[in-house]
Amino acid sequence: MARVLLFGRLADQAGWRERSVEAASLAALRDLLAAADPDLGEALGGPGVQVAVDKAIVRGEATLAAATEVAFLPPMSGG
Amino acid sequence: MTVFPSISLTAQPFEPGALLTTFCAGRAETGAVASFVGLARAERGQTTVLELEAYPGFTDAAIAQFAEEAKARFALHDYRIVHRIGRIAPGEAIVFVATAAGHRRAAFEACDFLMDWLKSRAPFWKKEHGPDGDRWIEPTAQDRTDAERWD
């Protein structure tokens, strides 16, 4: 079960910021989130959106082990 | 979660003078301490509240990694970074950075370097609440140019 976290405008758009989703891979997770909310699915793949798995940025595909935390990070603003 | 004692993200207002006093205490070999305090601006009434979101455990780790690079690059003795998160009213301090070095040039430059990075590349998400609604904001072109001076 992956703990999915949304930040910034992605959380506002989705209407949630944390949710548990059963998915074996990042691609499967994206598909599940897009099936539930197509606009969010598109936003998660949008320009500048990065993904962190267990607090480390990943590029491309990743497998999701048990109790993995997946965060979708829109462009960062700086402080 | 790893704890970074030189870095704090806090939802509570802080007093910059007290932080600086603490940072300066008990130093025999430090010849220079430079500090910077960033305050939330009202933007002529366009911003009533600033909201900063961080990713705990990710944001502080990223700041720590960068700050340790700065420490090595400028041969700092020490540094202290405090950053507000959550809702911040105009006039309140958002960020405090202090750097300690043997001599002033390194302390000044390291403080400037840390601030340029914090303003443009640190993993925060910033929202302005104003009379015309809310908006998420991204770094300005000037923030990016400031940060690129050091590349």
Q: At residue B86, does pLDDT exceed 90?
A: yes
Can you tell me the distance from the alpha carbon of B22 to that of B100, in angstroms, rounded to the nearest whole number?
A: 12
B144 part of a folded domain: no
Using the beta-carbon criterion (under 8 Å), do A79 and B126 form an inter-chain contact?
Answer: yes
Query: How many beta carbons lie within 10 A of that of residue B136, not counting itself?
Result: 17
Report yes or no for ipTM above 0.90: yes
Residue A30: phi and psi, rounded to 5, are -60, -40
Interchain CB contact of A49 with B (< 8 Å): no
Fold for the domain defined by A2-73: Ubiquitin-like (UB roll) (3.10.20)
Nearest CA in chain A to B95: A79
Q: Are B33 and B108 in contact (CB under 8 A)?
A: no
| pLDDT confidence of residue B144 | 77
Of A28-32, A66-70, B31-35, B119-123, which range is least confident?
A66-70
The answer to whether residue B2 sits within a structural domain is: no
Contact indicator for B96, B36 with CB cutoff of 8 Å: yes
Is B143 among the domain residues?
A: no
Residue of B100, B60, B106 whose CA lies nearest to B83 = B60
CATH number, domain of B121, equals: 3.90.1170.40
Nearest to A49, CA basis, from A1, A3, A20, A9: A9
pLDDT per residue as tens digits for the range A7-18 = 999 999 999 999
User: Which of A6, A12, A76 to substitute to test the interface with B, most B CBs within 10 Å?
Assistant: A76
Q: Is B66 part of a structural domain of the chain? A: yes
Q: Average pLDDT over chain B, rounded to whole? A: 93
CB contact under 8 A, A78 and B83: no
Tell me: the pLDDT tens digits for B38-78? 999 888 888 789 999 999 999 999 999 999 999 999 999 99
Domain count, chain B: 1
Domain residue limits, chain A: 2-73
According to the model, what pLDDT value does residue B1 have? Answer: 59
Instruction: Identify whether B146 is part of a domain.
Output: no
% of chain A exceeding 70 in pLDDT: 99
Q: Which residue has the tokens 């700092």?
A: B76
- Per the CB < 8 A criterion, the answer to whether A18 and A4 are in contact is yes
B83 touches chain A (CB under 8 A): yes
